[in-house]
Structure 1
Amino acid sequence: MVTALPGREPLLRALVDICGPDFARQAGAADLVAGHLASFVAAPPTPRAVMDTLSLAAERGLAVVPRGRGSKIDWGTPPRGLDLLLDTVRLDGIWEHRPEEFTAQVGTGTPVRAVQAALALRGQRLAVDPPSPAATIGGMLAVNESGPLRHRYGSPAAQVDRISYVDSAGGQAESDGENGNPGIAEVTGVIVSASLRLQPLPAARRWVTLPVSTPLQVHDLVAATLAQLVKPSAIEVDLPIPGGGRAAIQPAGALAVLVEGAQADVTARARQLATVLGDTATISPTAPRWWGRYPFGRADVALRLAVPITDLHAAVYALRDAAGMAVPVRGSAGMGTVHAVLPGTLPPERIEGILDAVRGVLLARGGRCVVVAAPPPISTTVAMASRRDLF
């Protein structure tokens, strides 16, 4: 780490020269990543300044980690070392908006919510809804953070026309997006901007929601929903406190289906779906409180299960059996991708045993289970999701 090397003050002065006196500093107690404390924090204002910062870091052999708002800074494999946090907060704003082409180029440090508010004034939106409230464009793309809208529109990476980034040596480069060469998952360095495809802002939205108790019930209701021609934008499930046995009486979770479009069409489709799903289904213009939120916190072990939707219920049952306890589950029942929560107080070897058992079941079903986030020492002991695993 740079703290053990000579030349600390000259290095800080060099960062100040690049970023300005108020935007380069020694790191403080809040500048932690998976238990690693940075030595410096720098916030370059332009792509050119990002190039200069990473060139300096490469020359000095510094380990660099980009940071937006920090909402997902601890996700995935922890860094082996950390000398410099490169803050993207100043790389913000919609740099180019072409409403007639439904595209926009956006700075990587721009909060997603700010972009959505600006685009809404022109009747457009990004068809993304990352659950992290403070998510930036760069942070969302770096880990391909998807919310409920992925069901209809695909992941954020799939909606990228082009990204501009600075590689770890300080060179400027571009990628054509999810399937570019390199794809976003293979990009190393710092994303500075993204050209994104936009969608019309829907005139109306309706959520059809009904209580559910078991993963098998969810399976049947999802099948019934997909059999209808209602074109859902999202199908989400929340099973917050499942019981121990499959036949046990359990506190009700919920299944919610989002339909969007023109007012009259949305009303008709929502009523059609509610009729099919049964008397307990309700229609609302507002989302359930749990919609688009993660079921885990920083002190929890967050798992991501991805499996064909026909086998999602089997995966959830397998996780419960392996854990031997109630396991909250929330996510896309319409895509077979959900997050589950294990206590962060479990010993690492217990977590590994649960993972091994669940992966054995998922292997035969073409599914997978990865640890997205966990508190130390679990994150430094258990194999965490790689960047590729998040795409």
Structure 2
Amino acid sequence: MTAAHEALLRACDGHVTEGSDADAVHGMAPRWVASPATTAEVSAVMTAAAGDGLAVLTRGTGSKLRWGNPPHRLDVVLDTTRLDTLVEHAAGDLILVTGAGRLLSTLQDDVAGSGQRLGIDPTRSGTIGGTVATGTSGPMRLRHGAVRDLVIGMTLVRADGVVAKSGGKVVKNVAGYDLAKLLTGSFGTLGVITEVAFRLHPVPRERRWVTVPVDGPAAAQAAIQELVHSQQVPVAVEVDWADGRGSVTALLEGHADATHECADTVASALGAGAAICDLAPDWWGADLATTDATSGHSTSDDGDGSGGGPTLVRVTHEIAGAGRLLHAITELEERYGVVASYRGSPAVGVGCAVLDGEAATVVAATESLRAAATAIGGAVVVLEAPDAVRDRLDVWGPATALDLMRSVKQRFDPAGVLAPGRFVGGI
């Protein structure tokens, strides 16, 4: 047993195992997997790792480990699933504090009895820490904001083992350096999230979905604009798209009578074919991190996604450019021979496309889609892809303010201990 192994064992009360292929990240297996149960134990793990120059990658359930670049090196996987304590739920203040390893689905169950919810939908398979670290949001982002807008406080452990806190349990505007916002979406490259404080929202009494079929990008753009500018204020606006056609759906919530009236008004405005339902469409908010947008099949043939399957990309765009984006996606099959589908939130300018085909054609299609997104103020990030595709692409694509991001990484993690190379520009 090495000194480094002994230090890790002491750090988390013996909860250290040898790394295996099952723990591999992009085919790279760690030497050890450490499973701390408290912030203090995380601090001790990071102190030991920093002292021995060990590279550490944080993992929750592992549902998004294929996202981002392969790490430059990997010695320790820090498993957060034992950090699953519900620390506090102040129902009267609509505030919750939870360990980063708690499942999002469990957390929603925790607060449902009080008629509350965390405004991240749908119920996903990952942990709270993973959701925050990857900045993953669902359809309700239009009403409640992105994940970063729901986080009001955070406890984290720096690369050198020092514990830091940001924000608190009060919903208010504050001046200064907001670490919680900085770590949200940082893919574990700046610190290990151990606890998160969230603002909650009440569960509405009634929910109604209004769906209209759209044939062609122009019809989709018209429906999106109608909903975006509607005085009925939808909670979410989603589009489901394949083969040059699809549907646009709005979610309306509130008191029963008012919601029914709003749904009638929206359906009338959307015109012929609009339908009202009290259940979400089957595709609504499906977690495209692990499923094909059209078939519901896994995006990988094996456990680490290297064997083949479709490529999943996240696309951002200006709201007014939604129609142009759908047109670009529709053209991909004709120009490159790939099967392309899309699902997203056009009213906030973010969604996911699934591209399926030979590796060379998928690469060409991705670069084409990247150019189209750039022209409408957006970008394309490759989330899931077979190695044959991933190896030929910069998964993050061109980035602005890269020098600033490198400076922040250097300040937080000068030794490159945390997930080295995983983020934009190989940070």
Q: TM-score band (shorter)?
A: 0.7 to 0.9
Aligned to 2:178: 180
How far residue 253 of structure 1 moved from its aligned partner, in angstroms, is: 2.3
How far residue 99 of structure 1 moved from its aligned partner, in angstroms, is: 1.7
What SS does the aligned partner of 1:383 have?
Answer: coil
Aligned to 1:247: none
Q: What aligned pairs does 1:1-391 form with structure 2 within 5 A after superposition?
A: 9-21=2-14, 23-129=15-121, 133-176=124-167, 180-181=178-179, 183-184=182-183, 185=185, 188-239=190-241, 241-243=242-244, 253-293=246-286, 294=288, 296=292, 297-298=299-300, 299-322=309-332, 324=335, 325=337, 326-343=339-356, 345-347=358-360, 350-385=361-396, 387=423
CA spacing shift, 1:377–1:51, aligned 2, 3 Å: farther
How far residue 55 of structure 1 moved from its aligned partner, in angstroms, is: 0.8
What is the rounded CA distance, in whole Å, between the counterparts of 2:254 and 2:424 in structure 1? Answer: 34
Aligned to 2:405: none
Is the 1:221–1:277 Cα contact (8 Å) retained in structure 2? yes
CA deviation string 1:78-100 (max 9, x = no partner): 21111111000111132012222
How far residue 321 of structure 1 moved from its aligned partner, in angstroms, is: 3.2
Is the 2:239–2:343 Cα contact (8 Å) retained in structure 1? yes
Is the 2:104–2:128 Cα contact (8 Å) retained in structure 1? yes
CA spacing shift, 1:194–1:317, aligned 2, 3 Å: same
Q: Which amino acid aligns with 1:15?
A: L
What is the rounded CA distance, in whole Å, between the counterparts of 1:83 and 1:37 in structure 2? Answer: 8
Q: Which amino acid aligns with 2:230?
A: Q
Q: Which amino acid aligns with 1:374?
A: A
What is the rounded CA distance, in whole Å, between the counterparts of 1:345 and 1:388 in structure 2? Answer: 26
State, as a whole percentage, how many aligned pairs show the same letter.
32
Is the 1:213–1:242 Cα contact (8 Å) retained in structure 2? no
Q: Which amino acid aligns with 2:199?
A: R
CA deviation string 1:167-212 (max 9, x = no partner): 1111111334997147124561210011111111111111112222
What SS does the aligned partner of 1:183 have?
Answer: helix
Is the 1:344–1:375 Cα contact (8 Å) retained in structure 2? no
What SS does the aligned partner of 1:37 have?
Answer: coil
Is the 1:15–1:42 Cα contact (8 Å) retained in structure 2? yes
CA spacing shift, 1:290–1:384, aligned 2, 3 Å: same
CA spacing shift, 1:93–1:205, aligned 2, 3 Å: farther
Q: Which amino acid aligns with 2:182?
A: G
What is the rounded CA distance, in whole Å, between the counterparts of 1:86 and 1:269 in structure 2? Answer: 48
What SS does the aligned partner of 1:174 have?
Answer: strand
Is the 1:15–1:53 Cα contact (8 Å) retained in structure 2? yes
Higher relative contact order, chain-length normalized (CA < 8 Å, sep 6+): 2
What SS does the aligned partner of 2:323 have?
Answer: helix
What is the rounded CA distance, in whole Å, between the counterparts of 2:47 and 2:249 in structure 1? Answer: 49
Select between 168-177 and 45-54 the one with higher mean Cα deviation.
Answer: 168-177
What is the rounded CA distance, in whole Å, between the counterparts of 1:205 and 1:155 in structure 2? Answer: 21
Is the 1:219–1:309 Cα contact (8 Å) retained in structure 2? no
Aligned pairs, how many?
Answer: 369
Q: Which amino acid aligns with 1:370?
A: V
TM-score, normalised via structure 1 length: 0.87
What SS does the aligned partner of 1:208 have?
Answer: strand
TM-score, normalised via structure 2 length: 0.80
Q: Pairwise CA RMSD of aligned residues?
A: 2.3
Question: Where does the alignment leave 5 or more consecutive residues of structure 1 unmatched?
Answer: 1-7, 244-251
How far residue 345 of structure 1 moved from its aligned partner, in angstroms, is: 4.0
What is the rounded CA distance, in whole Å, between the counterparts of 1:226 and 1:351 in structure 2? Answer: 32
Runs of 4+ deviating beyond 6 Å = none
CA spacing shift, 1:168–1:380, aligned 2, 3 Å: farther
CA spacing shift, 1:176–1:234, aligned 2, 3 Å: same
What is the rounded CA distance, in whole Å, between the counterparts of 2:372 and 2:264 in structure 1? Answer: 38
Select between 137-146 and 298-307 the one with higher mean Cα deviation.
Answer: 298-307
Question: Where does the alignment leave 5 or more consecutive residues of structure 2 unmatched?
Answer: 169-173, 293-298, 301-308, 397-421
How far residue 141 of structure 1 moved from its aligned partner, in angstroms, is: 0.3
CA spacing shift, 1:63–1:138, aligned 2, 3 Å: same
Q: Which amino acid aligns with 2:319?
A: I
